[in-house]
Amino acid sequence: MKTSEIILTVIMFVCAAASLIFSVMQFMEKGILLNNAWFYASKDERSKMNKKPYYRQSAIVLLFLFLVFLSVGLNLITKRLIFLIIEYVLLAAVFIYGIVSTVSIQKKNKDK
């Protein structure tokens, strides 16, 4: 492996570890809520907001990203096609999950 590949692999594994840590924190509903709905809400909206579904959504997205970064790192080490395929499948899954879960959360909020 070239030096640049080693550095990139280390960066991918560090990003994977950070994603996993933030995902666990979001599942535990600890720390700042890492969700656009929270960032774009006004102070008044934040005080009325049910944060639980947004914590869960963020946790699942970060867990997907952990798996993506892990797959990228393993792909850089092994150069196997399977890890590249897994990366693309996971990226598509996280994209679809993000859209579906956002629509679901908004639908539940409108029903209330």
Give the pLDDT means over successive 10-residue stretches in the chain (112 positions).
93 98 96 90 88 95 97 95 95 96 90 70
Residue 28 near residue 55, CB atoms below 8 Å: no
Place of tokens 């960066």: 11
Single pTM value for the model: 0.90
- The C-alpha atoms of residue 71 and residue 85 are separated, in whole angstroms, by 9
Q: Which residues contact 36 (CB under 8 A, 6 or more apart)?
A: none
